[in-house]
Amino acid sequence: MSKQIESTPRQDGFRMPGEHEPQSAVWMIWPERCDNWRYGAKPAQSTFVEVANAISQTTPVTMVVSVGQFENARSMLPEHIRLVEMSSDDSWMRDVGPSYVVNGDGERRGVDWQFNAWGGLLDGLYFPWDKDDAVAKKVCEINQDSSYRAPIVLEGGSIHVDGEGTLYTTEECLLHPSRNPDMDREQIEQVLCEYLSVDKVVWIPSGLYNDETNGHVDNLIHVVQPGEVVLTWCEDPSDPQYQISRSALDALETQTDAKGRRIKVHKIPMPGPLYITDEEATGVDISDGMERVAGERLAGSYANYLVSNDQIIYPLLDTKYDSEMEAILNDLYPGYRVTGINAREILLGGGNIHCITQQVPSI
């Protein structure tokens, strides 16, 4: 029986598991927003189908879809992908879905963060966002999991955890005035520790260059295992990402994790730089908040992959580096299935494979 709980996960003995731990499902949301996805989201829908199919090789997938798109999604998705009719404002399940926590007794609960479309009225990407803000609680209801309504604005893509007490985030995002302007770093840390049962927050100064989410950490790094991360690396001194990556490396290598370990950092190549083409820009409706114009630099990153039950689903973004990234992932995740998806269409919408998915841990 699902209900909203008034205590906190830490008080109740729940913690957020790492992405490398066993999962019972992955949830996604079907894209259709015409001022974000080009040509009525048809190219993006095909890519979402590919991602869902890839994940379903190792993990059951549930796709949230609006009433207007239900029949279309059902015709495009194979029968083993479950569809759930639900309203949303766009399709970023990582950011609007629940962050799940578990305890040692086989129980699972969701953390329902407040969502304001990456910045609210200050610099959010769209308005309104109330349907998105309701998604996490609905997912918990459907899963019959109880939930906690957290007291801060936060998106799931702005945090990574290792499952052993360490959380990674960026100052650029969590300390941005468009999220929780009345709270300082210590107060935000306290909420993170209380609602995810983490003991150490590792702060990285900035996220990827030109990331419209105000620098989500999942577009810059990924946690391989406790004490070990990959970091998007740029070798071109004239590129703005060059110094961002070096500042991130310095932050990671000069801190220890919750268990006192030095953090091992693996550098991964940065694709591109990649830009929206004239042809890609023509198919998108005009938007107040999202820059979908020709020449706009895309925040492309190989770090934006999903780990799910001994499988890596990663974005193919640049033929110069795709195979190198595959080799790196095979080396870092021995015994895992490594699946590449041509993810340009997701990137054009402002994120990637990690951003459009949210895992539900096994219990």
Catalytic residue numbers, as ranges = 355
Cis peptide leading into residue 181 (ω within 30°): no
User: Which of 222, 229, 217 is closest to 158 using CA atoms?
Assistant: 217
Looking up tokens 């060059």 gives 242
Distances (CA, A) of 234 to 231, 237, 239, 316: 10, 8, 8, 17
Using CB atoms within 10 A of its CB, is residue 12 exposed (0-12), middle (13-18) or buried (19+)? middle
CA dihedral 201, 203, 204, 210 (to 10 degrees): 100
d(CA 190, CA 259): 18
d(CA 345, CA 89): 18
Cis peptide leading into residue 315 (ω within 30°): no
